[in-house]
Amino acid sequence: MKQDELLGRAASTLIRYGGEFSSFFADHASGAFVYDREGRRVLDFTSGQMSSILGHSHPEIVETVREAIGKLDHLFSGMLSTPVLDLAEALTSLAPEPLDRVLLLSTGAESNEAALKMARLYTGGYEVVGFAQSWHGMTGAAASATYSAGRKGYGPMNVGSMAIMAPNLYRPTFGNHEFYDWQEELDYGFDLIDRQSTGNLAAFIAEPILSSGGILELPKGYLAALKQHCEKRGMLLVMDEAQTGLGRTGEMFAFSRDNIVPDFLTLSKTLGAGLPLSAVLTTAEIEEKCHERGYLFLTTHTSDPLPAAVGLTVIDIILRDKLADRAAVAGTKLKKGLQELQNKYDCVGDVRGRGLLLGMEIVEDKISKKPSVKLGEKITDKAMELGLNMNIVKLPGMGGVFRIAPPITVSDDEIELGLSILDDAIKYAISG
């Protein structure tokens, strides 16, 4: 059956859940490449859904799945197994003290849901603050703390949901690019929160790099200032490292750069390397008090052994092969190449991010910084035609922003190939 016929079947069968489906119909994948049924390959610069941190079908992950599913795949959620304990201990050994308690779940939304539910139970408050450009998931509390998309048409969000603007060094709100005062912006944001709060603040949830928000990296020192604001108000800080965790930014956890420890750390996408696995880490003190108050977060796949075994293999590979260091080196190379494209083309307004989580914003020209989503879409389509899968996010007030996140196992040759295809795609897009 030809690709067009398969897509026709999809059109008559599937519910669309995020715009239109890609015209590329995948058949198999290996490493940094995805292949269709005719054998055409596409270089995957999104790591699947920003998750396949070790590339597709990593042989050791494949072997772990084969062994685990033949031995112990799924259990009653209250029944424990060795893979669950081993992964929990591996995570707590990586995380800074006092993050020494772990809950294993399936998705990023679930992990954020679980953390926010604990924060509410622990503090007795119900108000949750996030960034106006955030994405934390599509379920209940996670969706209520998501502001980058998906808020219109579904009725009220959770009572007590509030947001402040995330810092954007390319499009600063307070001051110009050279004299951007993110501290003043943060203080102003919390002043507004104080005016709106009913006195029941529970938590602030943040990504160290807002991915769906357009790859907005929090400036150095920002998380420390944010933590101070939270402590002043008795709020808990939830750090969502779905895309930044486990080495992608060049450090095991992106928040480490700011020498702070959040009250909750949530991991998901990269932890399962493409398989559904997530985790919540918190302190013994918070866990104990929540347990005493009857904390409940049972799901069908809480503490499942098969994904836990996969997560342990992921961590083992990242540590053994020093892939966080590799991400820092490869990210420097990729960012330099993107900056060369920025210097070459007037439509490349900004290049930002850290390690192998980078963003490139497309504009009409560098002087006006006027957003050009249409040009970004044209580049996306041409890149796919030439063999490069790119992901573009479209947000109010921004140009189309490419989220560039190849596997941290990506080779130098693959980086060069991606940059070459992107160069050709931009050249084509601006010529017509």
Which of the residues 135, 248, 263, 378 is marked catalytic?
135
Q: Please give the biggest Cα pair distance in the chain.
A: 65
The pLDDT score that the predictor gives to residue 410 is 98
Among residues 320, 345, 371, the one where a domain terminates is: 320
Among residues 320, 336, 364, the one where a domain terminates is: 320
Is 269 one of the catalytic residues?
yes
Question: Same domain for 219 and 183?
Answer: yes
Q: Which residue segment(s) compose the domain that 406 sits in? A: 3-57+323-431
Question: Same domain for 99 and 223?
Answer: yes
Which of the residues 117, 269, 352, 369 is marked catalytic?
269
CATH number for the domain harbouring residue 377: 3.90.1150.10
Question: Same domain for 232 and 315?
Answer: yes
The pLDDT score that the predictor gives to residue 176 is 77
CA angle, residues 102, 107, 112, in degrees to nearest 5? 60
Is 424 one of the catalytic residues?
no
Are the C-beta atoms of 401 and 214 separated by less than 8 Å?
Answer: yes
Round to whole Å and give the CA distance between 218 and 189. Answer: 15
Are the C-beta atoms of 169 and 209 separated by less than 8 Å?
Answer: no
Question: Same domain for 312 and 333?
Answer: no
Round to whole Å and give the CA distance between 345 and 343. Answer: 6
Which of the residues 243, 354, 369, 378 is marked catalytic?
243
pLDDT per residue rounded down to tens, the chain (432 residues) = 787 888 899 999 999 998 888 889 999 999 999 999 899 999 999 999 999 999 999 999 999 999 999 999 999 999 999 999 999 999 999 999 999 999 999 999 999 999 999 999 999 999 999 999 999 999 999 999 999 988 999 999 999 999 999 999 999 988 777 788 999 999 999 999 999 999 999 999 999 999 999 999 999 999 999 999 999 999 999 999 999 999 999 999 999 999 999 999 999 999 999 999 999 999 999 999 999 999 999 999 999 999 999 999 999 999 999 999 999 999 999 999 999 999 999 999 999 999 999 999 999 999 999 999 899 999 999 999 999 999 898 877 777 899 999 999 999 999 999 999 999 999 999 997
Within a domain: 66: no
Question: Same domain for 138 and 275?
Answer: yes
User: 74: which 2 tokens?
Assistant: 């799924």
Q: How many CB atoms lie within 10 A of CB 317?
A: 18
Q: How many CB atoms lie within 10 A of CB 198?
A: 10
**Count of positions (residues) in the chain:** 432
The pLDDT score that the predictor gives to residue 20 is 85
Is 3 one of the catalytic residues?
no
Model confidence pLDDT, tens digit, residues 127-184: 999 999 999 999 999 999 999 988 999 999 999 999 999 999 999 988 777 788 999 9
3-state helix/strand/coil string of 146-205: CCCCCCCCCCCCCCCEEEECCCCCCCCCCCCCCCCCHHHHHHHHHHHHHHHCCCCEEEEE
Question: Same domain for 124 and 32?
Answer: no
Within a domain: 62: no
Within a domain: 229: yes
Which of the residues 127, 185, 240, 263 is marked catalytic?
240
Are the C-beta atoms of 356 and 331 separated by less than 8 Å?
Answer: yes
The pLDDT score that the predictor gives to residue 394 is 83
Question: Same domain for 25 and 101?
Answer: no
The pLDDT score that the predictor gives to residue 391 is 87
Which of the residues 100, 207, 263, 414 is marked catalytic?
207
Among residues 292, 320, 348, the one where a domain terminates is: 320
Question: Same domain for 15 and 146?
Answer: no
Question: Same domain for 309 and 370?
Answer: no
Is 423 one of the catalytic residues?
no
Within a domain: 67: no
Up-side HSE of residue 138: CA atoms within 13 Å toward CB? Answer: 7
Round to whole Å and give the CA distance between 205 and 157. Answer: 16
Round to whole Å and give the CA distance between 274 and 373. Answer: 29
Are the C-beta atoms of 169 and 200 separated by less than 8 Å?
Answer: no
Q: How many CB atoms lie within 10 A of CB 139?
A: 15
Q: What are phi and psi of 105, to 5 degrees?
A: -135, -160
Distances in whole angstroms, Cα of residue 158 to Cα of each of 136, 142, 149, 154: 14, 10, 16, 12
How many structural domains does the chain have? 2
Which residues fall within 8 angstroms of residue 277, CB to CB, at 6 or more apart? 104, 105, 106, 268, 271, 307, 308, 310, 311
Distances in whole angstroms, Cα of residue 26 to Cα of each of 3, 318, 321: 9, 27, 29
Question: Same domain for 53 and 78?
Answer: no
Which residues fall within 8 angstroms of residue 212, CB to CB, at 6 or more apart? 133, 134, 135, 148, 149, 393, 403
Within a domain: 65: no
Question: Same domain for 201 and 298?
Answer: yes
Question: Same domain for 293 and 355?
Answer: no
